Amino acid sequence: MDALRVFGTVVDVLGWDEAFMGVQNDDPEAFAREVQAAVLDATGLHCSVGIGDNVLRAKIATGFGKPRGIFRLTRDNWFAVMGERSPDSLWGIGSRTVKKLDDMGIRTVRELASAPVDEMAARFGPKIGPWLVGLGAGAGSTEVSAEPWVARSRSRETTFQHNVGDWNAITECVRDLTARAVDDVRGEGREGVRVALKIRYAPFVTHTASVALPSPTTDLATVTDAAVGLLDRFDHEREVRLVGVRVEMTPPENVRSH
């Protein structure tokens, strides 16, 4: 990241090894080659660079640039490159959404972009449905910010080596996971505002439930009682393979979250 910041552009850190750079340049490929050289000189590591007219296209373009390459993806070549690909080639679409789209007869990015917005809103919701259509067209934010990213929550989970049908043991597991998640929240110097419980039944069906805490807190007993209370919303006649606890936190001052 320090190597990227040398260029004097806005660097939006996406992960420990990935970032967006806010650049307007008449020869972006030449600029990308300079970035690659700087990273290689500073770290001894090669990198790929995606060029786009928004963050979505830049992110996807990086994949086409691998390994060690450069690729440009913009409005001009969006459908030529992406049109016949499956919707799960888009950043933000997973296998479950692809299955739902397939049920609607939508099997390519081009078909997603031309899907009726009202039908998509009815199937996925008034916000997600239109957003998916826009995603198919390659729509995305052009904002690149140097403000630090911060997590909205801390979570802990465990996967059992075998299916567990003893819900007393599951309750103890929830207590242990909650204690660890609360420790993480305290380490952030923040407080919990909501707790969520994830249960994956055997063989592979996941359900979640959540509840708001009475007030922002890091009191372990309060958060644990809320997490354990959520167990009442689950089917105790079924065996469990995974348990997870998530504690959503108060936002820190002057730092964005996403």
* pLDDT tops 80 at residue 257: no
What is the C-alpha to C-alpha distance for residues 163 and 113, in angstroms, rounded to an integer?
42
* pLDDT tops 70 at residue 256: no
Give Cβ neighbours of residue 58 (< 8 Å, ≥ 6 apart).
20, 50, 51, 52, 73
Which among 145, 3, 138 has a CA at the least distance from the CA of 58? 138
Find out whether 86 and 97 touch, Cβ atoms under 8 Å.
no
Find out whether 242 and 199 touch, Cβ atoms under 8 Å.
yes
In CATH, the number for domain 2-73 is: 3.30.70.270
Which among 191, 196, 240, 200 has a CA at the least distance from the CA of 220? 191
Token representation of residue 21: 């750079």
* % of the chain surpassing 90 pLDDT: 86
What is the C-alpha to C-alpha distance for residues 39 and 67, in angstroms, rounded to an integer?
14
Helix axis angle for 167-187 and 220-229, nearest 10°, is 140
Please give the pLDDT value at position 15.
80
Query: Could you report the per-residue pLDDT of 92-102, keeping only the tens digit for each?
Result: 898 889 999 99
The arithmetic mean of pLDDT across residues 56-78, rounded, is 96
The arithmetic mean of pLDDT across residues 50-65, rounded, is 96
Please give the pLDDT value at position 99.
93
Find out whether 72 and 28 touch, Cβ atoms under 8 Å.
yes
Residue 235, CA distances (Å) to 23, 123, 155, 207 in order: 52, 27, 22, 10
* Class of CATH domain 82-136: mainly alpha
Query: Could you report the per-residue pLDDT of 73-85, keeping only the tens digit for each?
Result: 999 999 999 999 9
In CATH, the number for domain 153-249 is: 3.30.1490.100
Q: 152 by DSSP, 3-state: which?
A: coil
* % of the chain surpassing 70 pLDDT: 97
The arithmetic mean of pLDDT across residues 4-14, rounded, is 92
Sorted by where each begins, the domain ranges of the chain are 2-73, 82-136, 153-249
End-to-end CA distance of the chain: 20
Compare 256 and 9 and report the one with higher pLDDT. Answer: 9
The arithmetic mean of pLDDT across residues 172-197, rounded, is 96
What is the C-alpha to C-alpha distance for residues 132 and 94, in angstroms, rounded to an integer?
12
What is the C-alpha to C-alpha distance for residues 32 and 141, in angstroms, rounded to an integer?
20
Please give the pLDDT value at position 82.
97
Q: Is 18 a catalytic residue?
A: yes
Token representation of residue 180: 């660890």
Query: Could you report the per-residue pLDDT of 126-152, keeping only the tens digit for each?
Result: 999 999 999 999 999 998 887 776 778
Please give the pLDDT value at position 253.
62
The arithmetic mean of pLDDT across residues 40-52, rounded, is 96
Please give the pLDDT value at position 76.
97
116 φ/ψ angles, rounded to the nearest 5 degrees: -60, 125
Query: Could you report the per-residue pLDDT of 210-252, keeping only the tens digit for each?
Result: 999 999 999 999 999 999 999 999 999 999 999 999 999 998 7
Find out whether 63 and 146 touch, Cβ atoms under 8 Å.
no
What stretch of H or E contains 35?
A: helix 28-43
What stretch of H or E contains 167?
A: helix 167-187
